[in-house]
């Protein structure tokens, strides 16, 4: 949206005494804008933008502590290395371009993973399953690096919190609980400007969290409490993204 400043308006007297307003040519530009040529047209500054991304997710092996307790003491605690199947990650971001290089953004989404084994035992062979659904709430700082023409690269870091839901099934008993933890991430990628407002990129994200723990109860012959703690919650994802600058 363009505006015309009052100081830029001129008026003169017509031949019949009427006032004739003269507005400068709307195509006129400031010296800074006139000098904007070539690659600089692809780097929009001071604009709000929104984006979505979707991709695959790999979760590193973690140590899983499980404590089972019932009316018959004592509690039983086991610990083993948990491995995970490949998962998915989707995100939505809302950001603001501060200048050609820096942007700040709010990032949220959903990460899903299913557990494969604990130790040498697959959960399916034990009649069990465990899935985690993680919703991050992060504030990112992004630095953009121009390459050539519409191409640019970016790196970023972020921090905030995450809510992680554990869905655990043991012989038909469905248990769930939610853990809230501190979360942090690092990201990098390659971006291509499709138009003045639209861009596409391929990026890598690392997300880490402080150790989440969950607790749930079920009646498995007798009232039983389960407590889980996952030590080392780290994920890696590669995603494609679409961004629109307003």
Segment 3-18 mean pLDDT: 43
**In this model, does residue 72 exceed pLDDT 80?**
no
pLDDT of res. 48: 95
Mean pLDDT of the chain: 85
CATH ID of 49-245, from 3.40.50.80, 2.60.120.20, 3.40.50.720, 2.40.160.20: 2.40.160.20
- pLDDT band of residue 31 (cuts 50, 70, 90) is very low
Return the structure tokens found at 16.
């019949």
pLDDT of res. 23: 42
39 or 137, higher pLDDT:
137
**In this model, does residue 121 exceed pLDDT 70?**
yes
pLDDT of res. 1: 47
210 or 172, higher pLDDT:
210
**In this model, does residue 123 exceed pLDDT 50?**
yes
The percentage of residues in the chain with a pLDDT greater than 90, rounded to a whole number, is 68
pLDDT of res. 170: 84
Distance, in Å, from the CA atom of 96 to the CA atom of 245, rounded to the nearest integer, reads 9
Return the structure tokens found at 180.
């809230």
pLDDT of res. 98: 92
pLDDT of res. 73: 74
pLDDT of res. 193: 96
pLDDT of res. 11: 40
Distance, in Å, from the CA atom of 72 to the CA atom of 221, rounded to the nearest integer, reads 12
**In this model, does residue 52 exceed pLDDT 60?**
yes
pLDDT of res. 219: 75
The continuous run of DSSP H or E covering 34 comes out as: helix 31-34
Residues 6+ apart with CB under 8 A from 168: 128, 129, 130, 174, 175, 176, 214, 216, 226, 228
pLDDT of res. 15: 44
The reported pTM is: 0.78
**In this model, does residue 36 exceed pLDDT 70?**
no
């Amino acid at each position: 949206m363009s505006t015309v400043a009052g100081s830029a308006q001129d008026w003169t007297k017509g031949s019949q005494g009427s006032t004739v307003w003269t507005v400068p040519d709307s195509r006129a530009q400031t010296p800074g804008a006139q000098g904007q040529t070539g690659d600089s047209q692809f780097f929009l500054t001071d604009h709000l933008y929104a984006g979505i991304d979707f991709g695959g997710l790999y979760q590193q092996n973690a140590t899983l502590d499980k404590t089972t307790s019932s009316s018959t003491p004592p509690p039983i605690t086991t610990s083993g290395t948990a491995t995970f199947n490949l998962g998915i990650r989707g995100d939505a971001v809302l950001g603001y371009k501060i200048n050609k290089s820096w942007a700040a953004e709010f990032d949220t989404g959903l990460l899903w993973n299913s557990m494969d084994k604990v130790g040498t035992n697959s959960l399916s062979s034990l009649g069990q399953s465990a899935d985690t659904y993680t919703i991050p709430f992060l504030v990112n700082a992004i630095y953009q690096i121009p390459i050539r023409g519409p191409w640019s690269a970016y790196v970023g870091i972020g921090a905030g919190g995450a809510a992680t839901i554990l869905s655990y099934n043991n012989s038909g008993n469905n248990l769930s609980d939610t853990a809230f933890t501190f979360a942090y991430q690092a990201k990098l990628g390659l971006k291509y400007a499709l138009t003045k407002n639209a861009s596409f990129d391929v990026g890598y994200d690392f997300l880490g969290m402080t150790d989440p723990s969950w607790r749930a109860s079920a009646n498995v012959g007798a009232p039983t409490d389960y407590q889980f703690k996952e030590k080392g919650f780290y994920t890696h994802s590669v995603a494609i993204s679409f961004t629109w600058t307003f």
